[in-house]
A = this chain, B = another copy of it.
Amino acid sequence: MNPRMAAFRARLGGFAFGGDYNPEQWEPAVWKEDVQLMRRAGVNLVTLGVFAWASLEPEPGRFTPEWLDEVMDLLHDAGISVDLATPTMAPPVWLSHEHPEVLPVVEDGTTFGFGNRLHFDPTSVHYRSAAARITRMLAQRYSQHPALAMWHISNEYGPVAYTPSSAAAFRQWLRRRYGNLDGLNDAWYTRFWGQRYTSWEQVNPPELPRSWSNPTRRLDYQRFVSDALLECFVAERDIVREYRDDIPVLTNFMRFYRRADYWAWAAAEDAVALDIYPDPGQADSHVAAALNFDLMRSLRGEPWILMEQAASSVSQWKVNNVKRPGRMRLGSYQAIAHGADSVLYFQWRAGRGGHERFHSAMLPHSGTRARSWKEVEALGNELPRIAEALGSTSTAQVAVLFDWNAWWGLETTYGLPRNDFDYPKLTTEHYRPLLQAQHAVDLISFGSDLSRYRVVVVPNAYLISDGFAAALEEFVAGGGTLVCSFFSGVVDLANQVRQPAYPGALRRLIGAYIDEYWPAREGETFTVRSADGTLSTADWWQDSLHPETARVLGSYVGGDLDGRAAIVENTVGEGRVVYIGTRLAEAALRDTLLEAVSVAGVAPVVAGAPEHVEATRRVHDGAAYLFLLNHSDTGSATVALPAPGVDLLTGAAVAGSITLEPAGVVVVRMVAPQ
């Protein structure tokens, strides 16, 4: 476990509770009321300074941090710790006014102007030097401040810039990756459409139109963008570490964010942190939230920070629904259940103006009479009851692949048999039945160690690395179970079709070859008959599958591929592979996955619970905490406890079974951790 985070946890002594605090929006008189209300709500950590660059450096090199001194002191006096942000996501207007070339040129070729956020080209030397200057000022001035508990580097990294500066940086990145032009030409398959490069200067980011063009160039540009942004993080991280080395340094991630390879990023941080805004208007947005939470935990295999959530509605969508009563609490515990060590919000007090004036805050426009304030206040005062669970971790025997290279291959390169793949959606379809059956799940990347798992699930991994293919072979040979879905293993890291095709990298594991991919016609569905005669439906896709060593688990009835295999299993070494050549309907996919997990001998966290109940376990120091969450708004749920224990939120001893109210939460310290 990361020692800086251990110190952070020890300092707070419980779950972090609080949020982004932007005092520069208010007069000092308001600050006093803020701190009083923070204490009333149990706040112990606030993030300061995310948008404060213009307030801290109104002109280039002239600093005005006195107000921040005062706020830091005020918070410290109230016993509230500070997560201090470098404000480099929102450069002051003087930067782009003096150096217009700092502004990014976005996908459609237009220059993204001042007035929003993220208005910088991450490769710009002007941006980087200004960001370093303000970071150094903050580090010098506040590193030893007693309120300081954490460094928050910038915010939600994201901009892409199709600028000359970015083009030059891309060329440098390519030179490092490929060494010489032959390497680039081979990887990019420039022999097609006569695209061969003969000098580095000819090489540019994908140009307009950015869709129909060399698919490996597009893929490499995704990689480059992630790396270029990460360089910005690392540069600021290294500056603050110069001044003090025992404080965690991190940045905040976003839900299913395609532009940054969070596996690579997590390794450069002391902890993973997430901003998440599940849409209250979507009935099952908690499923994708759970996946994101498990992903955050998996990125470093450690507890993580829920850095931002909304007290109620947000303001970024066409229609911004509120969180119904109890749902904010439920979602907060859901994050903790999946390994979060904090409940933090954007933001503390609702601003009167600006684009996000209607983004709900802990303290809303309507003040302490508001329902949402009361729920925030209640949660802040309830969390200390589970403080002992802080820092606890989880283990899982089932892993689901979620890799950025796989994602980029499927969604950004075009020219596929179908071009409406939604990688997070497809992955969520595979994750949902595991969650609903109360299985503990890790997410993994191409580079993950598979040895700790019994089952690995690989959803629709069109692009797969040589290393991961080899790791899967070793994993299965050693007794593991692989469940893999259609259109996997097709291309390598250069987006080139593996030979012999198909399924390329996975042919031996699957024990079958595919001569053609048959995407479904408009409205077409398929019927699959299992060995036992059960009929299920599928849609969207068919591999034209020809078993070699594999056995047929299900085959098509009717349709163009009548009688052809739809699902096969194969034995390789000590292990088992189940391959699904179509997009099974929810029930059939659930049955297929749960059968594989069950055969592999993996048990759920609790047995026999209804689908709308989530169950996770966190353990440490010989203690185990069972989290039970009822996602139904209307029905209660009874769950058999695997062991007796104490319900930490009520203090009551519990045994046998326990009943959760709608949107109910139970946290049980179990007497006999399994």
Q: Which residues of A contact B (CB under 8 A)?
A: 22, 24-25, 51-55, 58-59, 87, 90-94, 97, 108-117, 188-199, 201-202, 204, 206-209, 212-217, 281, 312-313, 315-322, 324, 350-359, 364-367, 369-372, 414-420, 494-497, 499-502, 513-522, 544, 546, 560
Per the bound structure, the CA–CA distance linking A216 and B355 in Å amounts to: 9
Mostly, the A contact residues are loop
- Known contacts A201-B97, A418-B318; is-contact A189 B115 (Cβ 8 Å): no
Can you tell how many copies of this chain the complex includes? 3
- Known contacts A116-B212, A207-B113, A415-B315; is-contact A365 B55 (Cβ 8 Å): no
- Known contacts A500-B366, A515-B364, A519-B319; is-contact A193 B355 (Cβ 8 Å): yes
Per the bound structure, the CA–CA distance linking A371 and B357 in Å amounts to: 57
Instruction: Please name the residue on chain B nearest to A514 by beta carbon.
Output: B366
* Residues of B close to A193: CB separation below 8 A: 51, 90, 116-117, 354-355
* Residues of B close to A97: CB separation below 8 A: 199, 201-202
Per the bound structure, the CA–CA distance linking A281 and B54 in Å amounts to: 53
In the complex, 13 of the A-B residue pairs with CB atoms within 8 angstroms, ordered by the A residue number, are A51-B192, A54-B196, A93-B197, A94-B202, A189-B352, A189-B357, A318-B420, A319-B417, A319-B420, A319-B520, A350-B497, A365-B497, A365-B499
* Residues of B close to A197: CB separation below 8 A: 93
Per the bound structure, the CA–CA distance linking A208 and B113 in Å amounts to: 5
- Known contacts A189-B351, A355-B212, A521-B281; is-contact A195 B420 (Cβ 8 Å): no
Tell me which of B195, B202, B372, B515 contacts A370 (CB under 8 A).
B515
Not counting A93-B197, A97-B201, A113-B207, a sample of 20 additional A-B residue pairs whose C-beta atoms are within 8 angstroms of each other reads A90-B193, A90-B194, A92-B194, A110-B208, A111-B207, A116-B193, A189-B351, A192-B356, A193-B354, A214-B354, A312-B516, A315-B415, A352-B496, A352-B497, A355-B415, A365-B499, A365-B501, A367-B501, A369-B513, A371-B544
Tell me which of B93, B189, B351 contacts A195 (CB under 8 A).
B93
* Residues of B close to A365: CB separation below 8 A: 497, 499, 501-502
* Residues of B close to A54: CB separation below 8 A: 190, 194-196
* Residues of B close to A217: CB separation below 8 A: 115
- Top 6 closest A-B pairs, CB basis? A113-B207, A189-B353, A192-B354, A115-B213, A365-B501, A54-B194
